[in-house]
Amino acid sequence: MILKTFRWPLVITVLGLAASAVFWGWEAFGVVLILSILEISLSFDNAVVNAGVLKKLNAFWQKIFLTIGVLIAVFGMRLVFPVLIVAITAKVNPVEAVRLAVDNPSRYESLVTDAHPAIAAFGGMFLLMIFLDFILEDRDIKWLAWIERPLAKLGKVDMLSVCVALIVLVVTSLTFAAHAHTSAGHGVDKSSTVLLSGVAGLITYLVVGGLSSHFENSLEEAEEREEEEEEKARAEGRAVSAVGLAGKAAFFMFLYLEVLDASFSFDGVIGAFAITNHIFWMAVGLGIGAMYIRSLTVYLVRQGTLDDYVYLEHGAHYAIGALAVILLVTIQHEINEVVTGLVGVVLIGASFWSSIRRNRALSAQGGDGDGGDSGSPGAQEKAGAQA
């Protein structure tokens, strides 16, 4: 199962590293390898969150996620996106931006650095909304119940997550954005840019997430009407296959996944400039990492890992919240990518260990320990507290 799922990432890794060594030398080989590891470490939480969405889709859309979705992730976000940033901020055409990347990488890097406040505000607000909507929702299974229980009560207030996000954006624009870090150094006022970009990130989340939820709810209503037909099919001895979301619902869920992946990739793309200015080395290294994250997402879905280790999704969303804060802070202050990656790894590792302890506790209490809804909510919270 592992070799089958990760077959293409392994092939691309070998080809990418070999091509780097042949065309650009051993320095490129080392840089591409480092960038691949950087992307994987920064985006592990992305795989966990994506898996929670991807499991709702049928096999066809899961395959689209691994094919067309990978092309969008690798070529769109890791190659085209940095070029577009330079084209927009420098007010040049994309061809000229590519020429800058190849012939004048230091100038190219400075232009991307100047665009960082806008990128960080957009991505930070999008990720912050994901975290807030998760943490403010009342869930049967709670990881850090002492935090999640009171926040779930507050979450009953309509549009609270939007209000909190807007408050964070205003505070950020008045503090970090007033002394933003650019190629000219600290102290540049980017308040208006951060405000506009942050609002754009918020609107993008609301539109894409809203459409996904709308079509998902519509499909659920249709599925309820189909239940009677399925029962008839079983009575007649015909096989009934379980299918996931399809049609418009699946399309907008796929679109949501792509925007989500784009937001996660911001820190990787920006962080890559701390290692190299070479646009093609960057694209190859980050692209290899993106391939592994995509395959890891599918692996988590097919193995039912999120059902077995129920706190993983919690840990990933806490990591998302931390990443959102880090992105907003980096508008003014530089934060090492190692710190960003370690925060996500530690939070997800802690949630994984808590899930294992919970399953053991439920087994000792006579539950099935499969990570599902076994046992009463009280027993689940008790197991979570023990974890």
Spans of all domains in the chain: 2-335
- Token digits for 217? 């709810």
Say if CB 256 and CB 208 are below 8 A apart: yes
Single pTM value for the model: 0.72
Q: What's the CA gap between 94 and 182, in Å, rounded?
A: 22
The pLDDT value given to residue 171: 95
Q: What's the CA gap between 162 and 168, in Å, rounded?
A: 10
The pLDDT value given to residue 370: 42
Q: What's the CA gap between 25 and 283, in Å, rounded?
A: 16
Question: Residue-wise pLDDT tens for the chain (387 aa)?
Answer: 677 778 888 888 899 999 999 998 888 888 888 888 767 766 766 777 778 777 777 778 777 877 787 777 777 777 787 777 777 766 778 888 888 877 887 787 788 778 888 888 988 898 899 899 989 988 888 898 899 999 999 988 888 999 999 999 999 999 999 888 777 666 788 999 999 999 998 998 888 777 767 666 665 665 566 666 667 666 766 655 555 555 666 777 777 777 777 766 665 666 566 566 677 888 888 888 888 887 888 888 877 777 788 888 888 889 888 888 988 998 988 887 677 777 877 888 899 899 999 889 888 887 544 433 444 445 455 555 555
- Token digits for 202? 């918020």
Closest of 80, 102, 121, 109 to residue 271, by C-alpha: 109
The pLDDT value given to residue 41: 64
The pLDDT value given to residue 218: 63
Q: What's the CA gap between 67 and 88, in Å, rounded?
A: 28
The pLDDT value given to residue 229: 63
Closest of 193, 130, 138 to residue 162, by C-alpha: 130
Backbone angles phi, psi at 180, to 5 degrees: -70, 155
The pLDDT value given to residue 264: 67
Q: What's the CA gap between 75 and 83, in Å, rounded?
A: 11
Say if CB 358 and CB 386 are below 8 A apart: yes
**3-state secondary structure at position 156:** coil
The pLDDT value given to residue 350: 92
* CB contact set of 102 (below 8 Å; sequence gap of 6+): 279
The pLDDT value given to residue 372: 39
Q: What's the CA gap between 18 and 114, in Å, rounded?
A: 33
Amino acid in position 169: L
The pLDDT value given to residue 174: 93
**3-state secondary structure at position 361:** helix
As a dihedral over the C-alpha atoms of residue 316, residue 321, residue 326, residue 327, rounded to 10 degrees, the angle is 100
The alpha-helical segments, DSSP class H, found in the chain are 2-5, 7-24, 26-54, 59-66, 68-71, 81-89, 94-103, 105-135, 145-154, 160-174, 191-235, 247-272, 279-303, 305-308, 312-329, 337-364, 377-386
